[in-house]
Amino acid sequence: MFHIQHHLLHMPSTVIKLIICVQGSSDLSVLTEVGEEQAKRCKKALENIYFDQCFASPISRAKQTAEIIWQWRENPLVYLDSLKEISLYHLEGMKNVDAMQIYPKEYTIWREDPANFLMNGRYPVRDLWKAAKDCWKEMLLSPGESFLVVTHKSILRALTCTALGLGPERFRSIDINNGGICVFNFNVRGEAMLEALNMTAHMYSDHVYPG
């Protein structure tokens, strides 16, 4: 029997994303007005679902999203450093076109072979996989049976892939839209079953998911 359920939510649009920049773990951007409206749509869509806790990245754009969605709920909102976005070092904050021109080799590997992307002596995607595994352990050991997770695209990809037993070479095999929701169920042995991937009906309608 599957007894623990996680809803994973990719936070909505931010300012820096609208000008197509490399965000990474930088904390320079905030939600746009569109992003705030998207967060409110997510809040409405999830209103019938009970959650024991909400886990969120402490980076401002995800924190804003979580605070909007979790407003009026009594249970804890917990910020985890392991839910921070991937660190892309000196590529962060650069426009994609500038990163491509200034660091063509690194940028190309990041886009085409992310598992082997090397920067500052680190492999960011491999580090992300470790963070995702650690994050799952922490969340699955938390009291409760139903959890909401609000975080960023790359760490959400890593959480999804590690739960399914996929390695970092599969980083770009899964895509999750702004406001997209993934649902995982875990059995008593901690084995994951993917129930839903990238649900976005609520972003284009007044759809509310059943509790």
End-to-end Cα, the chain, rounded Å: 18
Beta strands in the chain (DSSP E): 2-10, 53-56, 77-79, 146-151, 181-187, 192-199
Which pLDDT tens digit goes with each residue over 12-67?
654 433 444 445 554 556 778 888 999 999 999 999 999 999 999 998 888 999 99
Domains detected in the chain: 2-204 (3.40.50.1240)
97 pLDDT exceeds 90? no
Q: What is the pTM of this model?
A: 0.90
Q: What pLDDT was estimated at residue 4? A: 67
Q: What pLDDT was estimated at residue 162? A: 97
Which pLDDT tens digit goes with each residue over 158-200?
999 999 999 999 999 999 888 999 999 998 888 899 999 999 9
Q: Which of 65, 59, 61, 64 is nearest to 80 (CA)?
A: 59
Which pLDDT tens digit goes with each residue over 109-159?
999 999 999 999 999 999 999 999 999 999 999 999 999 999 999 999 999
CB 153 within 8 A of CB 183: no
Q: What pLDDT was estimated at residue 89? A: 85
10 pLDDT exceeds 80? no
CB 195 within 8 A of CB 168: no
Mean pLDDT of 6-15: 65
pLDDT range class, residue 94, cuts 50, 70, 90: confident
73 pLDDT exceeds 90? yes
Q: What pLDDT was estimated at residue 12? A: 62
What six digits make up the tokens of 89?
Answer: 């070092």
